[in-house]
Amino acid sequence: MPATFQWSESNGAVPTVTDGILNVNFGNLDSPNLSSPNNRVVAGNHSFEKWIRGRFSGVYTTIDNLKFYKSSGTLPANTAIKAAVNAVFAQPVSSTSLVATADVPTTLGTALVPTSPGASPSYSGYITMQLQTTGAASPGAIATQTFTLQYDEV
């Protein structure tokens, strides 16, 4: 029987962990499962950081060779998604992230490598992301971006 995977998000000063999140929508609130029109990021501002992890449960011997990248979606001009992996959790900020500082990779060959989870149930290392905009960013919703966490299971 294979491992069960779900995304998990941590929020708040002392992290509240939500397993099985429905989306990783960026917004102006430090909360999981944001709905798009209610939590807009205004041009020239940044979203709150997203601190997500892969949660693995069920029967497995090892989960390894994790690779995280943005596998589809095009960002509009004057917007960027910054990312980092394996940082120690800190309360998410909406100021310029001191953790998520590199552009999120867009190919498997340049993917970030989160720490592998331990024995079931367990989490991968943190993946920290932030949507950053300039004052010249166009208003409106950003098209869907797809993030992939690829891994090997034994």
At 100, is the pLDDT very low, low, confident or very high (cuts 50, 70, 90)?
Answer: very high
Q: What's the confidence (pLDDT) of residue 92? A: 98
- C-alpha 131/C-alpha 48 separation (Å) is 8
Provide CB contacts within 8 A for 56, sequence distance 6+.
3, 4, 5, 63, 117, 120, 121, 122, 123, 124
DSSP state of 82: E
Q: pTM for the whole thing?
A: 0.96
Mean pLDDT of the 117-123 span: 96
Tokens of 37: 């029109």
Report which residue type is found at 109: G
- pLDDT(107) > 90: yes
Among 133, 13, 145, CA closest to 68: 145
At 26, is the pLDDT very low, low, confident or very high (cuts 50, 70, 90)?
Answer: very high
